[in-house]
Structure 1
Amino acid sequence: MKTSSVHSALFGLAIGDALGVPVEFRERDLLKKDPVVDLREYGTHHQPKGTWSDDSSLTFCLADSLCNGYDLNEIAHYILLWYQSKMWTPHGSVFDIGITTRNAIYRISKGETPVLCGGYEESENGNGSLMRILPLAFYLKNETDKEIIFEKVKEVSSITHSHFRSVFSCFIYIIFAIELLGKKDKKEAYSNTKKIINSFIESRDFNLKEINLFDRLLRGNINELHEDNIYSSGYVLHTLEASMWCILNSNSYEETVLKAVNLGEDTDTTAAISGGLAGIIYEYNSIPKEWIKNLARNEAIENLCNKLSNKYEI
């Protein structure tokens, strides 16, 4: 089959997710004794091998919507269809959903404007928008105005997570993904991302207290930190840092996602976010074929990738 960077990203994300689902919430020390090295079955959510979670479901919802162009109301509607009608579920049921996302979906169902549905409290900075936003990079990859990129990222994130910290984490992630789609080496892409983001910060009157939270990523080199200083909870900044750390400290798709899973805690999301980027870096053919074969609904995912690729990569 003919593949593109869309196939690399979406399959890369879903397989990282599926690797992490059976061991979600398991502590790092336990995984050091029994590390994940392959797809497992059952475990935390008692799901068959190759099952992906809400991370991939909502990523596919965004990708599916973007096949029709950018329409925030439709993106929000697809999220609602996932929850209510089981659209883009691996086996016809929703078995994992964050509290902030659930609350946002309730607001969507009541007809509220999508950008006003997301949680805006500091306590509502889970990784629920970061985990699903990667397809937006394909829509924005040729956009040169960083202000437009930021505003689109803000809109899509705010459907579920509208606090600045969540929005800005998504912005950094999308800029890095766009750099990778431009065929930049991952280290060059990271360096460029820091320059782009820091320049953007200088042009805006952002809250410095919030901006300083990103110092480890934007002013230091996240890859130089020891694993003991990398956290893998469901907090959006932890997830972004952990994913970038895995990307920059690995040399293959397989190494990246297994490193992410074995950090423990929010294993599926860390591996999904890492896996989407690793897919772009190492390309579709680097993903173990047996993992693709065992991935739930792999043919449906392939068809979705073909549609999104035809829309934005021709």
Structure 2
Amino acid sequence: MALCLACSLIARRGFVLYDQLVRYKWWYKNGYMSSTGKCFDIGMATCDSLLEFQRRQKDFAEKYKIPLEQLDFLSDFDLLKKFNVYCSDSGVAGNGALMRLAPVPLFFYQQPTAAVEFSGCSGQITHGDQKAYDACRYYGALIVAALQGESKENLLSEKFYQTHISWFANRQLHEDIRTISEGSFKRRGGLRDGIRGTGYVVNALEAALWAFWSDENSFEKGALSAVNLGDDTDTTAAIYGQLAGAYYTYTNLPPKWLNHLYAKNFIQCLSKWITYEGNKWNLEQVSITIKKETK
């Protein structure tokens, strides 16, 4: 799903939630961007949201007289504004929103306020709970800060949220996410002290940050620690890897793992393309702002 999100940002040259849902649907139905050619291990919340998205698409096509074969390729932004992309029930707080997040802060890292808000929205289209939204906002901010070169000490500081509150448009985090931001993950005993890598977004966020905090500056150690918590092992490690990868950078990833990475060259190409389009988006926004101010 992270690759689907990355491709959407690149293809649409920006943040289009409708297109993100379309690509997730392609993954679900046809195995788009899957390493096996098929959808596998889809969470119930994501599945329900994508089924709801398909239902809304059909209703939308009927209402606006859109041929069904054109539904996945809509580009009229005025028309897209009329489509309700938030397809999840309000109480859904699974970790699926968080595990695919990284392309958003990677694309928008030069515009932190946009990166943080878009991070939250990217999760909310399939996971409607406030905790999922704020977990994505907080983690997106951490990834942006890592990309901007902030120290690990700053990233894991109990004051990170307060010192970056302008990135959050001065809006408060849900109290459960705020507790994590204030250091609840700093538990020496890990699993023995209650750290759990479950499918609940609050637990998953806390577990990933615990792995990052305790990894002794080793991506390999952190990823293995995340997996060894048990429960939803692959997702916890995927969440850890987004922040740790941004902080340690590609050159410090274990070569023995990189050598076995499926579609390695393609993923490297996508990463460079995200940087290119993200920089271009930034320049376009600056240009628009200047034009408005000089009129």
Q: Percent identity?
A: 29
1:308 paired with 2:270, answer no
**Which residue of structure 2 lines up, in the alignment, with residue 96 of structure 1?**
41
Amino acid across the alignment from 1:299: N
1:195 paired with 2:162, answer yes
1:273 paired with 2:239, answer yes
Q: How does 1:1-314 map to 2 (within 5 A)?
A: 58-68=1-11, 69=13, 70-112=15-57, 113=83, 115-121=85-91, 124-144=92-112, 146=113, 148-191=114-157, 193-196=160-163, 203-204=170-171, 211-220=174-183, 222-224=185-187, 226-227=189-190, 228=192, 229-250=194-215, 251-312=217-278
Q: Which structure exhibits the higher relative contact order, with contacts defined as CA atoms closer than 8 Å and separated by 6 or more residues?
A: 1
Task: Give the deviation of 1:304 after TM superposition.
Answer: 1.8
Range that drifts further, 230-239 or 301-310: 301-310
Distance 1:216-1:195 versus aligned 2 partners, 3 A rule: same
Amino acid across the alignment from 1:195: Q
* Structure 2 residues not aligned, in runs of 5+: 58-82, 281-295
Structure 2 SS opposite 1:247: helix
- CA distance in structure 2 between the aligned counterparts of 1:308 and 1:94, rounded to whole angstroms: 24
Normalising by the residue count of structure 2, what TM-score does the alignment of the two structures yield?
0.77
Asked whether the 8 Å contact 2:197–2:232 carries over to 1, the reply is yes
**Which residue of structure 2 lines up, in the alignment, with residue 28 of structure 1?**
none
Normalising by the residue count of structure 1, what TM-score does the alignment of the two structures yield?
0.73
Q: Deviations along 1:46-66, whole A, 9 cap, x unmatched? A: xxxxxxxxxxxx011111111
Task: Give the deviation of 1:217 after TM superposition.
Answer: 1.5
* Structure 1 residues not aligned, in runs of 5+: 1-57
- CA distance in structure 2 between the aligned counterparts of 1:64 and 1:309, rounded to whole angstroms: 12
Amino acid across the alignment from 2:252: S
Distance 1:87-1:255 versus aligned 2 partners, 3 A rule: same
Distance 1:153-1:306 versus aligned 2 partners, 3 A rule: closer
- CA distance in structure 2 between the aligned counterparts of 1:190 and 1:80, rounded to whole angstroms: 35
- CA distance in structure 1 between the aligned counterparts of 2:277 and 2:178, rounded to whole angstroms: 36
Asked whether the 8 Å contact 2:196–2:207 carries over to 1, the reply is yes
Alignment coverage as a number of residue pairs: 249
CA RMSD of aligned residues (A): 2.3
Distance 1:200-1:294 versus aligned 2 partners, 3 A rule: closer
Task: Give the deviation of 1:214 after TM superposition.
Answer: 2.7
Amino acid across the alignment from 2:174: I
Asked whether the 8 Å contact 2:208–2:226 carries over to 1, the reply is yes
Distance 1:106-1:219 versus aligned 2 partners, 3 A rule: same
Q: Which has the larger radius of gyration?
A: 2
Amino acid across the alignment from 2:197: S
Task: Give the deviation of 1:117 after TM superposition.
Answer: 0.7
Distance 1:313-1:150 versus aligned 2 partners, 3 A rule: closer
- CA distance in structure 1 between the aligned counterparts of 2:167 and 2:275, rounded to whole angstroms: 29
Distance 1:196-1:103 versus aligned 2 partners, 3 A rule: farther
Task: Give the deviation of 1:313 after TM superposition.
Answer: 5.4
Q: Deviations along 1:258-314, whole A, 9 cap, x unmatched? A: 111111111001101111211122111222222112122223222222322332358
- CA distance in structure 2 between the aligned counterparts of 1:59 and 1:149, rounded to whole angstroms: 16
- CA distance in structure 2 between the aligned counterparts of 1:283 and 1:199, rounded to whole angstroms: 26
Task: Give the deviation of 1:74 after TM superposition.
Answer: 1.1
Asked whether the 8 Å contact 2:109–2:115 carries over to 1, the reply is no
Asked whether the 8 Å contact 2:116–2:168 carries over to 1, the reply is no
